[in-house]
């Protein structure tokens, strides 16, 4: 699964990587948690261009009666995107890139009840894209635009830590994921391959367990 992630580069590095202008309010984040606003890139089909904006993490399907359902919809298993009612419409029509430069996973410590957090990031610390879906929900004057992170089988780096991980997209797969004309076979292929060649894992402090802590101490290596 993916319950926390980071986006620590400055705005210039993010804009250069994704070729978009960032919305107001951007700042480096070290402990992004569910229900918070996350930076995402979506394809504007009418204009034929990509744009970046803020989405709330925790997908609320358009048919939901209560937006609180989003608290349980932070991850979507790649294997069920095309069939599960909460995700299949967004999978066909509303895919996005969720911008990150790392994510956290927790490993069980043998013989102990506690779990050890790890920060998983690129060797070069470049930002990357997590596959996501987005939805627009509204009732009366209330409107919410939300998203979910797609998860898949772990790569070799992540497998010793956790049995799931967010779907990290290669540069080539980013375009395919956003392509409104992408067919089901192409999308299914993308959802089965996480780009893990440049990833590495670092044990970090348990301060990251609290979403109230959002500073560089979250990613500092343990002694």
Verify whether residue 218 is a known catalytic residue.
Answer: no
| Catalytic choice (2, 96, 147, 218) | 2
Give the C-alpha separation, 220 to 142, whole Å: 40
| Catalytic choice (15, 79, 93, 105) | 105
Residue the block writes with tokens 């609180």: 68
SS (H, E, C) 166-192: ECEECHHHHHHHHCCCCCHHHHHHHHC
Give the C-alpha separation, 33 to 36, whole Å: 6
Instruction: Show the CA angle centred on residue 133, arms to residues 132 and 134, nearest 5°.
Output: 125
Verify whether residue 172 is a known catalytic residue.
Answer: no
The β-bridge partners of 99 are 129
CB 88 within 8 A of CB 120: no
Residues annotated as catalytic are 2, 105
């Amino acid at each position: 699964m993916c319950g926390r992630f980071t986006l620590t580069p400055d705005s210039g590095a993010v804009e250069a990587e994704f070729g978009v202008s960032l919305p107001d309010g951007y700042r480096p984040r070290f402990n992004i948690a569910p229900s918070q606003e996350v930076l995402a890139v979506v394809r504007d089909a009418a204009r034929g261009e990509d744009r970046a904006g803020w989405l709330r993490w925790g997908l609320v399907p358009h048919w939901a009666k209560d937006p609180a359902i989003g608290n349980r919809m932070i991850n979507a298993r790649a294997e069920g995107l095309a069939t599960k009612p909460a995700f299949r419409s967004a999978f066909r029509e509303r895919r996005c890139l969720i911008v990150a430069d790392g994510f956290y996973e927790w490993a069980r410590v043998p013989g102990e009840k506690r779990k050890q957090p790890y920060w998983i990031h690129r060797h070069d610390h470049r930002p990357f894209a997590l596959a996501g879906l987005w939805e627009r929900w509204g009732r009366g004057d209330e409107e919410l635009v939300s998203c979910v992170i797609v998860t898949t089988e772990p790569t070799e780096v992540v497998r010793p830590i956790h049995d799931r991980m967010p779907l990290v997209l290669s540069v080539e797969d980013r375009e395919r994921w956003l392509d409104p004309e992408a067919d089901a076979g192409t999308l299914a292929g993308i959802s089965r391959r996480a780009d893990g060649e440049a990833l590495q894992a670092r044990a970090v402090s348990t301060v990251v367990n609290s979403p109230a802590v959002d500073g560089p101490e979250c990613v500092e290596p343990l002694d």
